[in-house]
Amino acid sequence: MTSQQQPSAHLDIRWQMGNVAASATFDILPGVTALIGPSGAGKTTLARIFAGLNTTATGCISLFGQTLLDSQSGKFVPASKRQVGFVMQDPALFPTLTVADNIALGSAMTATEHAELHEITGTGHLLSRMPASLSGGEARRVAIVRAMAAKPRLLILDEPMNGLDPKRRREIMQLIRRLAHSSNTPVLLITHQLEEMLFAADHAVLVDKGHIQITGSVEQVLSAPKTAELLGVDDAGSLVNATISGREDTLLVANIGGDLLYIADDNEPLGADMRLRILARDIALSPTHLEGISVLNQLEAEITSIERRPNDALIRLSLIKSGQRLESRITLKSCKGMNLKVGSNVYCLIKAVAVKELISDRVI
């Protein structure tokens, strides 16, 4: 799917990182792209080069067909003319201006658009406050709103969730997705946390020591061995896109392309699109449908591959109805005992409480 999308931006740049000659070539696609890598990988420098704040790089950068940098012809569009929004780790709200003035300063929005933006971001009640009186989470949100109000053609968020508690992080991640999708502004999200990539991004670019390691969809980058090596992915698992199709007792029914999955109710409205993560260790396998057990989710799947590892076996599965891919981690003993074979059908047993709801795309 991603390969058919027209890139919003293209980078082909080189710069110096201490003694290391760093380089990066990649496209930024519509939606949210995570630029992920360990600390010191060169993520922030790369983003500052893109925004025009770091002027030491050579190569070319284009955004929606417009050349921002072409060191061969000597073209360089300054930061103030790029229309690239940049929210730094430090929200850097201007301390002598109210929140409203901070937002209005570079705004290209009409009053109606402002009202809409405040509604989406829940910042309307902060307008008369001074930056010093805001909490960390509020300051981040205002910084994001301020950047969006300037109607950037692309928005860069540099570790916007650093130092926030889990609840605030989740709020910011939901906000990022909502903004990216409601405004059609491509977002480059810089992060060193896998969780943030999983929550918020559609595409990912893995960077380390000033070089791009992998680019692709979040699923592709997540499953790459290099990602595990750099970011310590401890658990294999699957990302599942689902729609809420019903509510039973205290559970939600999530529809994954025909397969129904019960998950814990998180006050999601019917029809909401969600992204779920199901870890391989949370899926047990059974040769038959079992009656009278506590596990509610029993989905029939075909085994597509079996990877025997020193301590366990990773079984890759494809759900019969939807074709959705899942992974299950079981012991070698079970694998042998059940006589699992590629091509045979099994039931995936998934506890409703084990399914982690990552993100909801509902638009308020």
Partner 1 sequence: MLSLVEIEALSLSLKVALTATAVALPFAIAVAYWLAHSEFRGKILVDTLIHIPLVVPPVVVGYLLLITLAPTGGLGAWLANIGLSPAFKWQGAAIASGVMAFPLMVRSIRQAFEAEPTAYRDVAATLGVGGWTRFKRISLPLAYTGTLSGSVLGFARAIGEFGATITFAANIPGLTQTLPLALYSAAQAPGGEDAAARLALLCLIPALLSLAASEWLSRRAKQRREERP
Binding site for partner 1 (CB under 8 A): 51-53, 78-86, 88, 90-97, 101, 105-106, 108, 131-132, 134, 139, 146-147, 150, 152
* Residue located via tokens 């929606």: 64
**Widest Cα–Cα separation across the chain:** 72
Q: Where would I find the H helices in the chain? A: 43-51, 99-105, 111-121, 136-149, 166-183, 194-200, 218-223, 225-231, 332-337
Our CB check for partner 1 shows the closer of 42 and 52 to be 52
Smallest distance from partner 1 to CB 130, Å: 10
Compare residues 82 and 118 and give the one whose CB is closer to partner 1: 82
Between 105 and 363, whose beta carbon lies closer to partner 1? 105
Nearest approach in angstroms of CB 217 to partner 1 is 28
Spatial distance between the Cα atoms of 150 and 62, rounded to a whole number of angstroms: 20
Nearer to partner 1, 7 or 106 (CB): 106
Q: Is residue 143 packed enough to be buried (19+ CB in 10 Å), middle (13-18) or exposed (0-12)?
A: buried
Q: Kindly state the smallest distance separating residue 259's Cβ from partner 1, in Å.
A: 45
Report residue 117 as tokens: 């933006």
Q: How far is the CB of 181 from partner 1 (least distance, A)?
A: 22
Residue type, 78: P
CB of 167 to partner 1, least distance (A): 20
Closest to partner 1 by CB, 154 or 236: 154
Cα dihedral 284, 288, 293, 297 sign:
positive
Nearer to partner 1, 53 or 260 (CB): 53
For the bound state, the minimum distance from the C-beta of residue 87 to partner 1, rounded and expressed in Å, comes to: 8
Q: 104: buried, middle or exposed (CB in 10 Å: 19+, 13-18, 0-12)? A: middle
Cα separation values, 46 from 59, 190, 208, 211, 309, Å = 12, 10, 11, 10, 37
Of the two residues 20 and 108, which places its CB atom closer to partner 1 in the complex?
Answer: 108
142's tokens: 């205002």
Q: 10 φ, ψ to 5°? A: -135, 135
Minimum CB–partner distance for residue 105 and partner 1 (Å):
6
Spacing of C-alpha 301 from chain mean position: 27
